[in-house]
Amino acid sequence: KYNETSYTLVLTKQPNEDVTITVNATKTATDRNVSSTIDLMRNYSERRQILVGRDSNSFRNITLDLIFTSNNWSTPQTVYVTSLNDANITEGTDWMHFPTLPNFLHDAP
């Protein structure tokens, strides 16, 4: 397997209405035959390098929605994430931005 991890989400209080959390695999511009930075900037061929799924055997490169209702709000839902093998990618040709993710979400005051 490639690099794989999982994230488990659960709400901390019962919602008044359904809550949908969308998990989306990020698209990146990449080119396996880049001869220069200028060539890279001109080629925006998009492909997914991160895949998500509901279990460790069903990764998909599509959006995944987790829906919490007043009935299942306290039941943990897990998202599995894996990265593709990048053995065929030339180092230094992809620019990836990994934003800081919150450890928890809460209502604004």
| 88 found inside a domain | no
| 109 found inside a domain | no
| 74 found inside a domain | yes
Residues 10-43: pLDDT tens digits?
999 999 999 998 887 765 554 344 444 444 444 4
| 94 found inside a domain | no
SS3 33: coil
| 10 found inside a domain | yes
Q: What is the DSSP secondary structure assignment for residue 54, as one 8-state letter?
A: S
| 96 found inside a domain | no
- How many domains does the structure of the chain reveal? 1
Higher pLDDT, 61 or 78: 78
pTM for the predicted model, two decimal places: 0.55
Nearest to 9 by CA among 83, 103, 109, 90: 103
Higher pLDDT, 102 or 24: 24
| 78 found inside a domain | yes
Residues 62-101: pLDDT tens digits?
678 889 999 999 999 888 777 766 665 555 555 555 555 5
